[in-house]
Structure 1
Amino acid sequence: MNEQPSVPRETLQQQAVAWHLRLTSAAADETVLAEFARWRRQGPEHEQAYRDVENLWQQLPQPLLADRQRRRELAAKRRRAAWARRGLGFAAAASVLLALMNGFYPDYLQHPLADYRTRIGEQTSITLADGSVAHLNTDTAMDVTISGNERRVLLLRGEAEFDVAHDTSKPFRVTAGGTTTEALGTRFVVRYDGQAGSVTLLQGKVRSSQPSAQGAHIDSVTLQPGQQISFSAEELGSVQTVELQNADAWRRGRLLMNFVPLKQVIAEINRYRRSQIRLLDDKLGEREVNIALDIREIDAWLAALQQTLPVKVVEAGPFVFLQSG
């Protein structure tokens, strides 16, 4: 008798989560239910994986469950209005696939034609045609144009450190949103999430500018080493002093954060993970912590967190939840 090869536990958990999404998406017809039943009967480990997901779902706070129910009802209403019954199976599958892609692989859907990209969790260094070096952090996309009289980088999203080759005849400018930073032979970091960002100067001098809200003039700020300025679509923020060893710790594979709320730490860590960490306790999220962790050892940090804080880590497939212990 041939035995079925065992399925890795992580794969089973991911399959169980995917099934739970399908079954609670208001798109589960008889065909989907039959497929699920066959998957569940494949072995006790399949049954247990799905029960783990169901148990975790029961632990979620009511506001999250209520929001999920509202989205299910809205999705069902839209599908009934837009699709005929015959096309429901295909549309439901496409909807689930898109939801999974957007949830776990958002970087694949954004800026696919950028000159340079990194996926979630990836980092790389690019030597540009002028000799400057761009170090790209996780989930970053940028376009580069080097002409006879200008060097221009368009940071579409993410974070990059620029080590600029000196050339007085060709200004080096990085644009993120409406903010442009011009380097004067220097090393600096620009971060941008699509709406807001920051510029941190590590060495040399830079000038960041953007049109004023009224468009009547250009707002401009010159930074010194160890200074950072945040920006939004509307304005440049005030200049802040930062710890240089923390500002580019990611270049060394580290995250260093001092006296910051746990929710801020989790938001930073999530930039490097496809499986996002969620806080189930607002009060816990406000607790100030210090961290020094290896980006490649986030799971080990989560395990250690339970030993240092009253925190319980609950895992279900690709999902990780933190709640008060």
Structure 2
Amino acid sequence: MTSTDLQEIEARAADWIAERDRYDATLPPDRQQALDAWLAASTAHRVAFLRLEHAWRRADRLGALPASGAQRRRTPLAWIAHPAVYRTAAAFCTVLVAVLLVTQFGRSPETQRYATARGQREQVALADGSHLTLNTATHVRTAVTPRAREVWLDEGEAFFDIAHDARRPFVVHAGAQTVTVLGTKFSLLREGDRLRVAVLEGRVQVKAPRGTPTVLTRDDAALAERDNVLVTRKSTQQLKAGLSWMQGKLVFDQATLADAARQFNRYGRKQLVIEDDAAARIGIGGVFDADNVEAFARLLHVGFGLDVNVVGDEIRVSSPAS
């Protein structure tokens, strides 16, 4: 809502109060009906009217006190319209509108949005002391208030280092899945309606829409889908390898070339295209820079004898011609 909108609402509310005052606080039925309709049309209308009505009554009380001649000539409505008072009133009105919106629609004015571009990482510090690390092409929304802590993972991957607070569980909404914690370290990767979870410390509860809540502990990894949560046990080393993206690295332990290509393609503008099944099944191991797919492609050519051709934004990899 713009300042001009607020000014117009304030002016209309003042007109209604002045009209009602002319009728000794009791409007004719048709005018009362019109006022009721105006009040019902918008929360901002009701807030402005109630606030100015309170100011009007206070001005009446002030008018009963001894005053100078100039002050006696100032009407209650003129007192309300004083520029300094008006600016304060408009600001107060804005705050009340925000509070009522939270109450009526469940929307928090503290909600913040964060996003990373392809190949970008970002650190996010929350008001409760928690920290988020966003991976490439990730979109999150956060709402941390004195009563609740919530995050919406709309897309991508993030690592969560959550400050312990028994009074306020930390809740992450990732599509249909919900993750609830008190204080822990874990990562989430959202792939459409699927959610991959890895827990480094603490306990995490994962709830799928049509499943029972599943509690994960340290070194647990899970794949959550709409109907179930599949949990596997991993070593700490394996879990940390999965978080190598936080240092800008990709770690592969006998991954297929097809899987490696999918990982690289999350980060760079140039996309790896594996053109045949034989090349796609080759096992890959090692540590690589996530933002240097060209070096990885050169390794495929030199180390595996694969054909590598650059066509526009694609790096096409294929088995050598027989």
Structure-1-length-normalised TM-score: 0.61
Note if contact 2:163-2:182 (Cα within 8 Å) is conserved in structure 1: no
Alpha-carbon distance, 1:123 to partner: 0.4
Number of residues of Structure 1 aligned to a counterpart in Structure 2 = 208
By how many angstroms is 1:195 displaced? 2.2
Query: Does structure 1 conserve the Cα–Cα contact (< 8 Å) formed by 2:185 and 2:201?
Result: yes
Q: For residues 150-189 of structure 1, what are the structure 2 equivalents within 5 Å?
A: 150-189=148-187
Task: Give the counterpart of 2:221 among 211, 220, 228.
Answer: 228
8 Å Cα contact 2:254-2:285 kept in structure 1: yes
Are 1:298 and 2:255 counterparts? Answer: no
Instruction: Judge conservation of contact 1:177–1:233 (CA < 8 Å) in 2.
Output: no
Q: Residues 244 and 250 of structure 2 are in contact (CA less than 8 Å); yes or no, is this contact kept in structure 1? A: yes
| Cα distance in 1, alignment partners of residues 153 and 205 from structure 2 | 16
1:115 aligns to 2:110 (yes or no): no
Matched, 1:316 2:314: no
- Alignment partner of 1:129 is 2:127: yes
CA offsets 1:15-66 (integer angstroms, 9 cap, x no match): xxxxxxxxxxxxxxxxxxxxxxxxxxxxxxxxxxxxxxxxxxxxxxxxxxxx
Counterpart CA distance in 2 for 1:299 and 1:164 is 36
Match of 2:231 in 1: 238
Write the deviation string for residues 70-110 of structure 1: whole angstroms up to 9, x where unpaired. Answer: xxxxxxxxxxxxxxxxxxxxxxxxxxxxxxxxxxxxxxxxx
Please tell me whether the aligned partners of residues 149 and 171 of structure 1 are also in contact (alpha carbons under 8 angstroms).
no
- For residue 273 of structure 1, give the secondary structure of its aligned residue in structure 2: coil
Displacement of 1:210 in angstroms is 1.9
Deviation of the 1:235 alpha carbon: 2.4
The answer for unaligned runs of 5 or more in structure 2 is 1-110
What is the CA–CA distance in structure 1 between the aligned matches of 2:188 and 2:305, rounded to whole Å?
Answer: 35
Gap regions ≥5 residues in structure 1: 1-112, 213-217
Amino acid at match of 1:201: V
**SS state at 1:119 partner:** coil
Name the larger-Rg structure: 2
Aligned to 2:193: 195
Q: Whole-Å Cα distance in 1 between the matches of residues 142 and 112 of structure 2? A: 9
Q: Deviations over 1:159-190 (max 9, x none)?
A: 00010011111110111111111123111000
The verdict on how the C-alpha distance between 1:306 and 1:181 changes in structure 2, with shifts beyond 3 A counting, is: same
Q: 5 Å matches for 1:1-325?
A: 115-212=113-210, 218-241=211-234, 243-325=238-320
Question: Shift in Å at residue 233 of structure 1?
Answer: 2.8
Q: Deviations over 1:136-178 (max 9, x none)?
A: 0000001111233221111001000010011111110111111
Q: Mean Cα displacement is larger for which, 290-299 or 127-136?
A: 290-299
Question: AA paired with 2:254?
Answer: F
Does the CA contact (< 8 Å) of 1:312 and 1:322 recur in 2? yes
Structure 2 counterpart of 1:169, one-letter code: R
Q: Which amino acid aligns with 1:252?
A: Q
Runs of 4+ in 1 over 3 A off after TM superposition: none
C-alpha distance in structure 2 between counterparts of 1:274 and 1:114, whole Å: 28
Q: Quick one: higher RCO (CA 8 Å, sep 6+), 1 or 2?
A: 1
Alpha-carbon contact 1:122-1:139 (below 8 Å) kept? yes
In 2, distance between residues paired with 1:156 and 1:298?
Answer: 26
Deviation at 1:129, TM superposition (A): 1.6
- Give secondary structure in 2 for the equivalent of 1:201: strand
- Identical columns (%): 28
User: Is the Cα contact below 8 Å between 1:129 and 1:146 reproduced in 2?
Assistant: yes
Paired letter, 2:184: T
Aligned to 1:74: none
How big is the shift at 1:114?
7.7
SS at match of 2:124: strand
| 1:323 aligned partner, one-letter code | S
2:218 is aligned with what amino acid? P
CA distance, structure 2, for counterparts of residue 276 and residue 195 of structure 1: 24
> CA separation in 1, counterparts of 2:213 and 2:206?
6
Q: Could you tell me which amino acid in structure 2 is paired with residue 312 of structure 1? A: D
CA deviation map 1:254-306 (0-9, x unaligned): 11121121101100110001221111111211122213101233211211221
Structure-2 residue corresponding to 1:60: none
